[in-house]
Amino acid sequence: MNKRRKGIILTVPYIVLSLFFLILPLAGLIFKSFSQGLDSWIRVLSNPLYIEGLKNSMILSVWVTAESAAAGSIIAVLWYKRLAKHSWFLSFLNYSANNGGIGLAFALLATLGTNGFLTIILRRIGIRIYPNFDIVSLTGIHFAYLSFLVPYMTILFLPAVGSLKPEWWSAACTLGAGKKRYILKIAGPVLFPSFMASTTLVFLTSLGTYATAQAISSDRINLITIQIGYLMQMSLFRQVDAYTISILLFLIMMIFIVIYKKTNEKAGRWLR
């Protein structure tokens, strides 16, 4: 069996999975979103509730992404050389990056809720975070997102930091370049494409997160993913709106996926 035929056979399971779990569901969503013609699209794009949900989701995603990108990249730079001696830290990052959903929501409510243990401790020493702070708000969800998106950004950015070769710094020093010039002329251009690609993935993850936000807010915060979930579960006559919003969200994500692809291609030159 030649390599080409073997390669084709090995890709068959991937093609089958993609067909049943990606292509067909997407085609079904597109078909259902136009089941009422353009009426559902006009209704979604003119409904203030849906527009506000999309706006809140974008604001939250940009806010969380900016902080996660900054914190995660700094942690990656500071910890990369220590990972050989502190492998537990990488395990901690992997656990934290995948610690979302209902479990995370419960932990946050048990910690910073109205009667959370940290809230009670602070209250006893004279610090009252309520009523100025509300866990069921964009700010509360923002802290929940940070708890798994900062580790996620760190994991994504670590390979880029590892691509910086020690001899580049030695060569820069030999040629008389200081640390500032090395960062601006060598490290910065090498890391920037990976930083943008990682940041884009963090933004997409934040924009599409549903379980954590829904568990914390119980549908009391207007986010676009919560709107989709509500329409699918609670509304008998507006499910077509959920399909339409899903396709709209998919189109927005596709824009950022293209950005990720372009920046990742540039980053790939240094990661080979």
Q: What is the pLDDT of residue 91?
A: 85
Using CA atoms, how far residue 19 sits from 13, 73, 226, 250, 257, in Å, is 10, 36, 27, 17, 20
Q: What is the pLDDT of residue 151?
A: 94
Nearest in space to 72 (alpha carbons), one of 157, 143, 142: 157
CB atoms within 10 A of CB 28: 11
Residues in the chain: 272
Q: DSSP letters along 210-228, please?
A: -HHHHHHHTT-S--HHHHH
Q: What is the pLDDT of residue 154?
A: 93
Amino acid at 60: L
Q: What is the pLDDT of residue 224?
A: 92
Q: Is residue 187 a contact partner of residue 246, using CB atoms and an 8 Å limit?
A: no
| Rounded Cα–Cα distance for residues 1 and 246 (Å) | 44
pTM of the model: 0.86
Q: What is the pLDDT of residue 155?
A: 92
Strand stretches in the chain, DSSP E: none
What is the longest distance spanned by two Cα atoms in the chain? Answer: 75
pLDDT along the chain (272 residues), means of 10: 70 85 88 86 90 93 94 90 78 86 85 84 85 83 92 91 81 80 82 89 91 85 90 80 90 88 72 57
Q: What is the pLDDT of residue 221?
A: 87
**Residue 37 exposed, middle or buried by CB count within 10 Å (0-12, 13-18, 19+):** exposed
CB atoms within 10 A of CB 252: 16
